[in-house]
Amino acid sequence: MSLSMYQASIPVFLRMLGNLSTILDKAAAHAEAKKIDPAIFVNARLAPNMFTLSRQVQIATDMVKACAARLSGLDVPHFEDTESTFAELQARIAKTVAFLQSVSAEQIDGSEDRHITPNFGSRVLSFSGQDYLLDFVIPNFHFHMTTAYAILRHHGVELGKTDYTGEYQDLVG
């Protein structure tokens, strides 16, 4: 049995966004336990020329909602990038999850050859649906997910590999 475009995208995105939500919960609990202003974490970055935690979450969610929309031929939902608290970041993840859950396998499957032309300001890229998913969205999504994890880990939040990957025994069945 071959892997479908839907199977390679939506379930993976949903699982990882769930893991991101858990990571943010741990960061919020850590901030509360250590009496650290949560804004310090939300605005933290790994290097001066890197985006903040909030921007990493915004980009990760933007990647996957745009992917689901483009592969299914829907309009890309627009979210304002104004999140400045853990609760607001969690709400953004929840909105993204709700959108992803509204897109069916029938809408995405067969999109391997769909012409995708994302626009990034003055730069327009061109992909087949499969190349867009596998060579652009998935690497970018994981980069921003990993960076969000690394920012929090770097700032003392007790996170481990399974916080990022999730528990594997839940996947059997």
Whether 77 maps to a domain, the answer reads yes
Kindly give, in sequence order, each residue whose CB lies less than 8 Å from that of residue 146, ignoring residues fewer than 6 positions away: 164
Range of the domain at 150: 10-171
Query: For 82-102, what is each residue's pLDDT tens digit?
Result: 999 999 999 999 999 999 999
Do 137 and 63 touch, CB atoms closer than 8 A?
yes
Whether 33 maps to a domain, the answer reads yes
* Domain count across the chain: 1
Tokens of 7: 């199977």
Do 37 and 69 touch, CB atoms closer than 8 A?
no
Whether 141 maps to a domain, the answer reads yes
Whether 88 maps to a domain, the answer reads yes
Query: For 113-144, what is each residue's pLDDT tens digit?
Result: 999 999 988 999 999 999 999 999 999 999 99
Whether 103 maps to a domain, the answer reads yes
Q: Which residue has the tokens 């890309």?
A: 76
Whether 4 maps to a domain, the answer reads no
Q: What is the CATH number of the domain that holds 56?
A: 1.20.120.450
What pLDDT, on a 0 to 100 scale, did the predictor assign at position 22? 97
Question: Looking at the predicted structure, is the pLDDT value of residue 62 above 70?
Answer: yes
Question: Looking at the predicted structure, is the pLDDT value of residue 170 above 90?
Answer: no
- SS3 label, residue 120: strand
Question: Looking at the predicted structure, is the pLDDT value of residue 111 above 60?
Answer: yes
Whether 1 maps to a domain, the answer reads no
What pLDDT, on a 0 to 100 scale, did the predictor assign at position 168? 73
